[in-house]
Amino acid sequence: MILELINIGDELLIGQTINTNASWIGQFLSQRGVRVSKAVTIQDEKEDILRQLEDCLSRADVVLITGGLGPTKDDITKETLCEFFGGKLEMHDETLQRITEYFESKGRPMLESNVNQAMLPNVCEILPNYNGTAPGMWFEKDDKVVVSLPGVPYEMKPLISEGVFPRLNERYQFADIYQSSIMTTGIGESFLAEKIKNWEDKLRSDELSLAYLPSPGIVRLRVTSYKGENDKEKVEQYMNTLKELVGDYYYGEENESLALVVGKLLAEQKRTIGTVESCTSGGIAAEITKIPGASSYFEGSYVTYSNRLKNEKVGVPYEVLETQGAVSQECVELMAVNGRESLGTDFCLASSGIAGPDGGTSEKPVGTVWIAVAFKEGVFSKKFMFGNDRERNTKMSVLSALNMLRLLLLGRLDN
């Protein structure tokens, strides 16, 4: 079964709206063993819609369409599909009643243009929309299926999950898929690939597939079986071997963030954390507290952006700031050690670096960042070299700091 997606909307092509519908549908379906093999975004133009539909139907068994069903004049999908399938628009009483009730429930008047939304092609099955005015439309022709859905995400999503997917599954009985992922950090995609090469070859020869899913500082590794739960044990055995191979770069399951994993470790070990931040400027603290309940282990921070505050708040001597500079091992270790004491926490993370775009030297180029973590018995620090992008440098610094704390909490910081 081949499935293609058409998203209709000028606002998508001019970048006013990011096409989150395509990614949501892709994720929803791929997790259920269905692949979107192509996704096309086109304008609200009759000729474009007709041409694209013909093109998709030349390959696909199922074409999903979103958008262009609003009450305004520039939305022409319904009329175009009606013509394509050789039908006529007729008043659909059930839909009219639903639209009427919808406006009554909101206490808003119903316009003529909304009444017209109940005029529907007489050659499709109507999929009721409980969250808006435009229903879904299910067309069939020559054993192929075309489904048209509204583009508003919270109207489209339940129509897919409760209307479209169950019908497709009944028709095609999709292969049951089983997936398992692990999260890695501190290692790039190509180094990871080198490290697990033999394992990956064996996996593939065993009819399983592997995806590398990278985002800044993180690579997620996902194994897929198309035999569903039957393969669960086999897949999990591979995952266990993978975790061993990846070693300390492996930090969590599925979509877990580093902040979540570190937070769980802190809560389990009943330890507290604080931060003293320069280049990350509160970013580590903000990341830690994205996790609800972080107050049980996170106490607070100093942001010591200026040298004066590095001196006044966490006692970095001016001599160090002048001779070694703020971006130095000595400075960041003092920030961590003194910050830990002053904040009264079990651990303290500290950052000092050159985020850019200015301030770099040949000795300390933009992207040079020192991270330290202080603990009862001492302090550990490490120099990183990121790149030229200020935003990315900050993000990488935050992740590297959290990863350093994770390794410390696991007793593996030397690795």
Q: How far is the CB of 88 from its own copies (least distance, A)?
A: 24
CB atoms within 10 A of CB 198: 9
Q: Which is closer to its own copies, CB of 176 or CB of 299?
A: 299
Of 77, 112, 117, 79, whose CA–CA distance to 96 is shortest? 117
Cα 348 from chain centre: 29
Q: Which is closer to its own copies, CB of 26 or CB of 317?
A: 26
Q: How far is the CB of 343 from its own copies (least distance, A)?
A: 7
Sheet holding 218-225, edge to edge: 209-215, 218-225, 178-185, 250-253
Q: Which is closer to its own copies, CB of 194 or CB of 322?
A: 194
For residues 20, 24, 27 and 29, what is the CA-based torsion angle, rounded to 10 degrees?
A: -140
Q: Which is closer to its own copies, CB of 187 or CB of 320?
A: 187
DSSP code for 17: S
Q: How far is the CB of 268 from its own copies (least distance, A)?
A: 19
Q: How far is the CB of 86 from its own copies (least distance, A)?
A: 26
Q: How far is the CB of 87 from its own copies (least distance, A)?
A: 25
Q: H or E element: which one contains 56?
A: helix 46-57
Of 152, 25, 215, whose CA–CA distance to 40 is shortest? 25
Q: How far is the CB of 173 from its own copies (least distance, A)?
A: 21
How far apart are alpha carbons 289 and 12 in whole angstroms? Answer: 33
Q: Which is closer to its own copies, CB of 131 or CB of 324?
A: 131
Q: How far is the CB of 243 from its own copies (least distance, A)?
A: 21
Q: How far is the CB of 95 from its own copies (least distance, A)?
A: 17
Q: Which is closer to its own copies, CB of 146 or CB of 285?
A: 285
Q: H or E element: which one contains 311?
A: helix 307-314
How far apart are alpha carbons 295 and 263 in whole angstroms? Answer: 10
Q: Are strands 119-121 and 89-91 parallel, antiparallel or unpaired?
A: antiparallel
Of 271, 220, 213, whose CA–CA distance to 242 is shortest? 220
Q: Which is closer to its own copies, CB of 125 or CB of 162?
A: 162
Q: How far is the CB of 84 from its own copies (least distance, A)?
A: 18
The answer to whether 224 and 197 are in contact (CB under 8 A) is: no
Q: Which is closer to its own copies, CB of 124 or CB of 263?
A: 263
For residue 194, CA distances in Å to 4, 33, 47, 73, 362 come to 34, 29, 49, 56, 32
Q: Maximum Cα–Cα distance for the chain, whole Å?
A: 84
Q: Which is closer to its own copies, CB of 26 or CB of 87?
A: 26
Of 299, 302, 263, 247, whose CA–CA distance to 406 is shortest? 263
